[in-house]
Amino acid sequence: MPDGDQTASDVGVKWWHRWFRTPGELRDLGVVGINMRNARFLLPNNPRRLYRLVDDKLQTKALAEAEGLSVPETFAVIRTPHDASRIERILDKRYSFVIKPSRGSGGKGVLVIDEREGDLFIKPSGAVLTRDEIRHHVSNILAGLFSLGGQRDCALVEYRVRPAKLLTDLSYQGAPDIRCVMLHGYPVMAMLRAATKESDGRANLHQGALGIGIDIATGVTVRAVHHGKPVTKHPDTGVDLIGIQMPEWNKILDIAVTCQEMTGLGYLGVDLMIDEEIG
């Protein structure tokens, strides 16, 4: 209830301003929406002819390898239905791997396999898939179900990164990654994306992963959100998310700068992972 000279309408205004902001207020707070990001940063700084270098994971990996950067090993590239029909041979003796569309986005179509029991493949969530189900998933990738523009695609079978112990503690049965947003060679913001049970081992916010903000100057985590709401602990493990120092932070920033330089793009999001064994 209002007190003193405070009216009900005053209370209503304060409630409204607690949860909503006008576009002008958001700009004053430094919040950049997707439309403004595209209009002011992405489109003016990124020539269309260079999009192919980052829209196709095969091309991006080739660029990175040419620069001497480490990328997850590609076990196989499945391009045709005939290749998909040979999935048993392709996955022979593979107990942990990732299958993803080459031209996918937003984490769609990424299948993470954590372990294997005979002809059964187990996801980080504990869900079990058969060979036929994996073959069906690969066929959907080839048909363009997850690709940019719905165009036909190819499927990559890759090494599954085993994240460094510190980062494993912040994620639920999945490999977290670090996204650095680059503008003309400078890192302007960064976050750690950590998997949850909901995201099924995938470090993608659209699939239910956590976004954990990182201070650019120090590499220490400062804030975290889940489905747009602030959190301080992991929803599945209860682990604290704030005040964690990222390992080898300066090296991470150097790699992000190299990634931007190799593409020629002025505005770029660089995704990096730290493997427990190979770094």
pTM of the model: 0.80
Helix (H, G, I), strand (E, B) or coil at 23: helix
Q: What is the per-residue pLDDT for 167? A: 80
pLDDT over 90 at 191, yes or no: yes
- Rounded Cα distance, 279 and 263, in Å: 23
| Each residue's pLDDT tens digit, 99-116 | 999 998 877 889 989 899
Q: Between the CA of residue 193 and those of 168, 180, 219, 221, 266, what are the distances in Å?
A: 12, 11, 14, 11, 23
pLDDT over 60 at 88, yes or no: yes
pLDDT-derived band at 9, boundaries 50, 70, 90: very low
For CATH 3.30.1490, the residue range(s) in the chain are 73-158
In the CATH scheme, what is the code of domain 73-158? 3.30.1490
- Rounded Cα distance, 36 and 39, in Å: 5
- Rounded Cα distance, 227 and 205, in Å: 8
Tokens for 52? 């192919």
| Each residue's pLDDT tens digit, 45-61 | 889 999 889 889 999 99
| Each residue's pLDDT tens digit, 201-247 | 777 888 888 999 999 999 999 999 998 889 999 988 899 999 999 98
| Each residue's pLDDT tens digit, 105-154 | 877 889 989 899 988 999 877 889 999 999 999 999 999 888 887 889 99
Do 211 and 193 form a contact (C-beta atoms < 8 A)? Answer: yes
* CATH 3.30.1490, domain 47-54+163-272, yes or no: no
For CATH 3.30.470, the residue range(s) in the chain are 47-54+163-272
